[in-house]
Amino acid sequence: MALRQEPHVLVVGGSDSSGGAGVARDIETISAAGVRTCLAVTAVTVQTHDAVMAIHHLQPGLVADQMRAALRANRVSAIKIGMLSTGRVIVAVAAVLSEFPRIPAVLDPVLASSSGKALLEANAIGVMKRNLMPLCHLVTPNLVELATLVDSELAGNDDDILRQGKRLLAFGPQALLLKGGHATGPQSTDILLSSNQKSIRFEAPRGTGTMRGTGCMLASAIAAHLANARSLHDSVVEGKRFVLNRLKESSAG
């Protein structure tokens, strides 16, 4: 079948019954970039736009089996990883990634919902850093996630952000996109950080609109452009442009 030969992004993450985040947002975003998706669901959540009422974890073996089946069925050119839920699921996902080291993986380290509900077990953070991050092409923490991942206070300035980023980079991901949306000021600054080149800053006016799932959108858009053989830098530029346009549309509406 021709569809099997088109570039796909394998989305690994949790479902969101509200449609505001999770795999629903991922599929929407990747489709907008003209790329097909295949899926491995890690957890089923019961939630609205305001609250998470229940989380049902899938068995690690089932998650791994979904990934391997998707990878056999399609030409997967990038992998986007979101909610992982438990340490055992992280280990299972990492095991599959290690079998396909040439496929770039983008990790959005989902730790909590927009409403504040924990979406990753606290004792799984170390597993994520040790087992999964070394296999990732890009990790995209916001400033709150960054501080949690390095067990530090929220960064107060660019020096703090870079210091925390370098600590996280030491766990082995090829690059980090440190998202400044949780900072203050008229400009929102994201920093692309890797060990083999100078950090790159992406400046944009801080939007007035709000939207759930922007972290999902950005990581998915980046993965979609990587699947189309764009460079990491260009994929980040295009991903940020997509999210900014969606925020402008939301604000205008």
Mean pLDDT lowest for which of 74-88, 191-205, 222-236?
191-205
Which pLDDT tens digit goes with each residue over 121-162? 889 999 999 999 999 999 999 999 999 999 999 998 999 999
The crossing angle, in degrees rounded to 10, of helices 60-73 and 87-99 is 30
Within the chain, all domains assigned CATH 3.40.1190.20 are found at 1-139
DSSP string, 161-187: HHHHHHHHHTT--SEEEEB-TTS-SSE
Judged against a pLDDT cut of 90, whether residue 101 lies above it is answered with: yes
Which pLDDT tens digit goes with each residue over 171-202? 999 999 999 865 555 577 899 999 888 999 99
Between 253 and 83, where is the model more confident? 83
Judged against a pLDDT cut of 90, whether residue 207 lies above it is answered with: no
Q: In the CATH hierarchy, which top-level class contains the domain 1-139?
A: alpha beta
Cβ atoms within 10 Å of 200's Cβ, excluding its own: 16
Judged against a pLDDT cut of 60, whether residue 51 lies above it is answered with: yes
- The encoded tokens of residue 204 equal 């944009």
Which pLDDT tens digit goes with each residue over 53-69? 999 999 999 999 999 99
Question: Distance between CA 195 and CA 149 in Å, rounded?
Answer: 18
What does the mean pLDDT of the chain come to? 91
Question: Distance between CA 51 and CA 46 in Å, rounded?
Answer: 9
Question: Distance between CA 71 and CA 77 in Å, rounded?
Answer: 9
pTM comes to 0.93
